[in-house]
Amino acid sequence: MGEVQPADPHFETRVRSSFEKQGIMATIGACLVKVVPGEVETEFPYALSLSQHNGYIHAGVLTTVVDSACGYAAYTLMPAEFDVLSIEYKVNFMSPAVGERFRGVGRVVKAGRTITVCAGDMIAVADGKEKVVATMLATMIAVKTKPA
Amino acid sequence: MGEVQPADPHFETRVRSSFEKQGIMATIGACLVKVVPGEVETEFPYALSLSQHNGYIHAGVLTTVVDSACGYAAYTLMPAEFDVLSIEYKVNFMSPAVGERFRGVGRVVKAGRTITVCAGDMIAVADGKEKVVATMLATMIAVKTKPA
Amino acid sequence: MGEVQPADPHFETRVRSSFEKQGIMATIGACLVKVVPGEVETEFPYALSLSQHNGYIHAGVLTTVVDSACGYAAYTLMPAEFDVLSIEYKVNFMSPAVGERFRGVGRVVKAGRTITVCAGDMIAVADGKEKVVATMLATMIAVKTKPA
Amino acid sequence: MGEVQPADPHFETRVRSSFEKQGIMATIGACLVKVVPGEVETEFPYALSLSQHNGYIHAGVLTTVVDSACGYAAYTLMPAEFDVLSIEYKVNFMSPAVGERFRGVGRVVKAGRTITVCAGDMIAVADGKEKVVATMLATMIAVKTKPA
């Protein structure tokens, strides 16, 4: 979606500022690696503190990171006076999340005035090889922010 | 599903032992508060380290905890030589996750030999009042464990 | 949700009038069997013209009928000048749809000004016995109708 | 997924034979337009008998056709002695289904021995222009067929 025109030229600043306010991203150790109109990528390293019972990354952690990527992808296209919220999402887990690093990619599929549909992938990086381990289909909503 | 007969009488020990191996549960501060055949509850207190950008609990954290509740609810009914994995889930977020404590409730809707369907709710407890803030519909699979 | 107050006292007339305009409902042979605030039921008889390759009712037909039940359940609580549209839904199929009649039940889980979350079940009736064969979690949106 | 090797060289015959047994496909007027390993397309013309209350194609009809495309896409990669069933799916509806023809495209995202994840799109064709009006993420299961 490289041809998409963001409604707010300062979209990247808005995304980065919001991302830094998410306590869970620091807990996970996730950082933003790409912020362009309609697409956002986040990344985090493996940690045992994020694992399920077999030592793989917990499905919910993958979900957290790819949800943020999808939400911020939607946010890049929203006017400045709006906030983004996840209405709902569905995730399929296709392979155990084994790897050194994990990258969540969120892309806008359809941007509307109120509702934005996003698709996301969670990619595990192990020994330099990439593998899609989970895929998300999400519905985001633009909510007008209240004046402070 | 109180009338359900678990295949393994030691289901509670299995669930508690597996739960303790999930690094993410310690990170979230979640503990098991109910383990009966076909139903599991988990609970965690509010922490800023689990927040999204408005200070509410991040959707992905709610998902992590209710996914575990659903997965372990399915696990209570599985034979001893099986492990449980989340194939996929869908979550709707209905209200901001505001509260002092959050309780994830997972229930088996349909237990099959291979596939188990579960429903879950995430309940926020604020000032002693309970509110369902998210609801999940999940598909779990029983996978035969490999001999050590 | 018997305690729910509909915004429009003429909700039942609105639902029945809209239902009759759905060509697919006549094709399926579905009729409305219950319309109360926050809950709607629809029913149709078995027909080979609705089958998948094993002769069971096709998953998509179950989905069509329970989607309508959910959509109209949401519609019962909306003000008169709004229309209802399905944003998205997820359905789990738990047993083959075998039976003489099939009943779709849609219930409002959370009614909001813009977004309404609904849950639905598809019940197969065979030899007088009822069985839930599919379950839905759906997101509906209220859209202001344009003046004619 | 053009490089995918089907387990059964007669996959197309199996898909076409199964498709013809689906009574609902004749009712909708849908036909198979593409059957290759890991991808299937189906198409049907607009009919008022498939409409919702505004005259657009009903969400459930779109779902039925794209579910079949996804299911048969999974089926192309399964060994001869297996049948395919939809465990669950999620669909997002992005635009009203307006057009003369509608094409459902189903693709395998991840093929496993038991579970296959598929993605699908429903494309509306109006005045020669194509538009994706709905998108699906689905989970299929391979079930061993019983000897007759």
Q: What is the pLDDT of residues A35-49, one digit of tens each?
A: 999 999 999 999 999
The 8 Å CB, 24+ separation contacts for A123-132 are A124/A57, A124/A95, A124/A97, A124/A98, A124/A99, A125/A99, A125/A100, A125/A101, A126/A98, A126/A99, A126/A100, A127/A100, A130/A103, A131/A95, A131/A99, A132/A94, A132/A95, A132/D110
**Taking all residues of chain D, what is their mean pLDDT, rounded to a whole number?**
96
Provide the percentage of residues in chain B whose pLDDT is more than 90: 95
Residue C4 pLDDT: 76
Cβ D135–A135 below 8 Å, yes or no? no
Amino acid sitting at position B90: K
How far lies C138's CA from each of A82, B91, B96, D70, in Å?
25, 10, 19, 21
Q: So what's the pLDDT on residue D146?
A: 80
Count each helix (H run) and each strand (E run) in chain B, helices first: 3, 6
Distance CA A132, CA A118 (A): 17
- Chain centre distance of CA D116: 14
Structural contact between residues C97 and C148, judged by C-beta atoms closer than 8 angstroms:
no
* Residue A136 CB contacts under 8 Å (≥ 6 apart), including other chains: A63, A66, A67, A70, A89, A90, A91, A106, A118, A119, A120, A121, A122
Over residues D9-22, the pLDDT tens digits come to 999 999 999 999 99
Instruction: Give the model's confidence band at A1: pLDDT under 50 very low, under 70 low, under 90 confident, else very high.
Output: very low
CA distance A27 to B55: 14
Query: Residues C30-51: what's their mean pLDDT?
Result: 98
C53 vs D21, D49, D89: nearest CB: D21
Residues A59-90: pLDDT tens digits?
Answer: 999 999 999 999 999 999 999 999 999 999 99
Residue A147 pLDDT exceeds 80: no
- Pick the closest to residue B89 from B47, B113, B118, B122 (CA basis): B118
The 10s digit of each residue's pLDDT in D45-97 is 999 999 999 999 999 999 999 999 999 999 999 999 999 999 999 999 999 99
Spell out a b/e string for C46-57, using b for 16 or more CB atoms within 10 Å of the CB, else e.
beeebbbbeebb
Length of chain B: 148
pLDDT at B146 over 90: no
| D114 close contact with C: CB closer than 8 A | no
Task: Please report, as a single letter, which amino acid is at residue C98.
Answer: V
Contact B53 A19 (CB under 8 A): yes
Residue of C50, C64, C68, C115 to mutate, testing the D interface (most D Cβ within 10 Å of its Cβ)? C64
Strands lying side by side in the sheet with C31-36: C31-36, C39-45, C101-111, C115-126, C129-144, C82-93, D82-93, D129-144, D115-126, D101-111, D39-45, D31-36
The mean pLDDT of B105-112, rounded to a whole number, is 98
Contact A134, A59 (CB under 8 A): yes
Instruction: Dig out the tokens for A104 from the structure.
Output: 């969540």
Q: Which two tokens stand for residue C111?
A: 């009614």
Q: Chain B within 8 Å of D59 (Cβ-Cβ)?
A: no
Contact A126, A98 (CB under 8 A): yes
The verdict on a CB contact (< 8 Å) between B92 and C137 is: yes
Mean pLDDT of A5-27: 96
State how far Cα D76 lies from the chain centre: 12
pLDDT tops 50 at residue B24? yes
Distance between CA atoms of residues B60 and D131, nearest Å: 32
**pLDDT confidence of residue C115:** 98
Please, which pLDDT band fits residue B2 given cuts at 50, 70 and 90? Answer: very low
Q: Give the pairing type, strands D82-93 and C82-93.
A: antiparallel
pLDDT of residue A2: 45
CB nearest to B115's CB, from D90, D117, D141: D141
- ipTM of this predicted structure: 0.95
Measuring CA to CA, which residue among D103, D21, D117 is closest to residue D65? Answer: D103
Q: What pLDDT shows up at residue C3? A: 59
DSSP B13-46: HHHHHHHHT-HHHHHHT-EEEEEETTEEEEEEE-
Tell me how long chain D is.
148
Whether the predicted pLDDT of A3 surpasses 70: no
Return the closest-CA partner of residue A134 out of A103, A104, A92, A98.
A92
Q: Which two tokens stand for residue A18?
A: 């919001």
Q: Could you tell me the CA-to-CA distances from B94 to A62, C68, C115 in Å, in that order?
A: 21, 21, 9
- What is the pLDDT at residue C5? 84
Q: What angle do helix axes B59-76 and B11-20 make, rounded to 10 degrees? A: 150
Determine, for residues A51 and B22 on separate chains, whether the beta-carbon distance falls below 8 Å: yes
The whole-number pLDDT of residue A102 equals: 98
Pick from B94, B135, B137: CB nearest C92: B137
Rounded to an integer, the average pLDDT of A5-32 is 96
3-state DSSP of C57-97: ECHHHHHHHHHHHHHHHHHCCCCCCEEEEEEEEEEEECCCC
pTM of the model: 0.96
Angle at B59 between CA A97 and CA B25, to 5 degrees: 55
User: Tens digits of per-residue pLDDT, C90-111?
Assistant: 999 999 999 999 999 999 999 9
Chain B positions in Cβ-Cβ contact with residue C137 (cut-off 8 Å): 90, 92, 135, 137
Q: How far apart are the first and last CA of chain C?
A: 33
Evaluate whether A83 touches A72 at the Cβ level (below 8 Å): no
As a whole number of angstroms, the distance between CA C101 and CA C43 comes to: 7
* Alpha-carbon span B36 to B18, nearest angstrom: 15
- Mean local confidence (pLDDT), B67-83: 97
Q: How many CA atoms lie within 13 A of B139 on its CB side?
A: 29
What's the whole-number mean pLDDT along residues B122-144?
97
Query: Chain C closest CA to A89's CA: distance in Å?
Result: 10
Distance CA A57, CA A96 (A): 8
Residue A99 phi, psi dihedral angles, 5° rounding:
165, 175
What is the pLDDT averaged over residues C141-148?
Answer: 86
- The encoded tokens of residue B126 equal 């604020």
Chain B: closest CA distance from residue C81 (Å): 24
Pairing of strands D115-126, A39-45: unpaired
**Mutant choice from B18, B22, B52 vs A, greatest count of A C-beta within 10 A:** B52
